Amino acid sequence: MMVVSRVLRRSLARVVHRDLGLGCVFIAALCAGLALPVNAQSDARQSATTGNFPSRPVRIVVPYPPGGFNDTLGRLMAVHLSQAWKQPVVVDNKPGGGTVIGTQTVATAPADGYTLLVVQFPFAANPWLYKSLPYDTEKSFAPVVLAGRSPMLLVTHARSDLRSLEEVISRAKTKPKAFDYGSSGSGSSNHLAMAYFEALAGIDLNQVPYRGSTPMLTDLAGGQIDLAFDALPHALPFIQSGKVRALAIASSNRSSLMPHVPTVGESGVSGYEVSSWHGFVVPAGTPRAVIEKINRDINDALSSAEVRKIFEQQGVIPDGGTPAQFKAFVESQLALWKKVISQKNITAD
């Protein structure tokens, strides 16, 4: 009977893929006519604890346009979760307002687990950059999981005579505002990363804002600006082209993608670590059992060789963990950027 059951279930998977409605009829017949194997009984018990979640399509809101790692993350998880849940999981790109538009969409969605939000660095910075937000970052959402982190890199152009972070600091202390650095605008991750670095290193540089990382790095490669902090996935193609040179990486350890590049800490600025991080949240009030199921299944996806390979190729360190661990991480980020933004008197554009 166990062999028959496995054969039928393999056939059933093909039917479900072709015709979901017909597949449900066969599932009902199978459950009525055959004893469930042990693993199916376990799945059934778990389904009961989550109210048969999900029993309809699930939406992942990405508050960015298509393209870029946040969109890639949403689509990777959509594929893996739809396979695990046997339900459609769709990505809904809602860019605009410095991620505020997409974030508000999820803040006002029903707290049932059917709407997830991809969150990133601005999630912890926006509360301090804007005078008011249409949601409460700490109260409107429930953390699910930290998916991954991309360490920031301090880069210069290939023709620059700057060869180390120590040299940047030494020359900047001798002549304040001597160097121009690029950002993606006031309050962006690379702006705040540099503001934090300036505070710890005791230097003062001149910000040149751009409308995004690509034009900023393009101008850096052309020598129009001297320096920039940017996330590894953004900077890596420019480094690989030979037009941009990495001076230091803002992580606790060197990257396997560029082991010759020292950390900021090794270069004399102790305690400086900044990452462009990525995670998932749901509306506050979502049942704990549903959050735990989503967390468990995203962790399963993050542990797959396929997902880890895609992450690592783009310079993203796969993470994972519990909702409580992600909550603590977000709280630490909120505290850090509140301090930096307040000290430097930074506001959003």
126-145: pLDDT as tens digits: 999 998 999 999 999 999 99
Note whether 282 and 324 are same-domain residues.
yes
Which residues, listed in sequence order, are joined to residue 206 by a DSSP beta bridge? Answer: 180
Whole-angstrom distance, CA of residue 7 vs CA of residue 21: 20
CB count, 10 Å around CB of 111? 16
Tally of CB atoms within 10 A around 8: 15
Q: At 249, list the tokens.
A: 């990486």
**In this structure, what are the phi and psi dihedrals at residue 230, rounded to the nearest 5 degrees?**
-155, 160
> Given this model, what pLDDT does residue 212 score?
87
Per the domain annotation, does 258 fall within a domain? no
The answer on 294 and 229 residing in a single domain is: no
Whether residue 167 is found in the same domain as residue 139:
no
Claim to verify: residue 145 and residue 166 sit in the same structural domain: no
The reported pTM is 0.82
Residue 268 included in any domain = no
pLDDT (tens digit, 9 = 90+) per residue, 70-125? 999 999 999 999 999 999 999 999 999 999 999 999 999 999 999 999 999 999 99
When computed from its CA atoms, the radius of gyration of the chain, rounded to whole angstroms, is 23
Same domain, residue pair 154 and 144: no
Rounded to 5 degrees, φ, ψ at 255 are -85, 140
Domain extent for 324: 58-149+277-344
Give one DSSP letter per residue of 200-242, joined into a string.
Answer: HHT---EEEE-SSHHHHHHHHHTTSSSEEEEEHHHHHHHHHTT
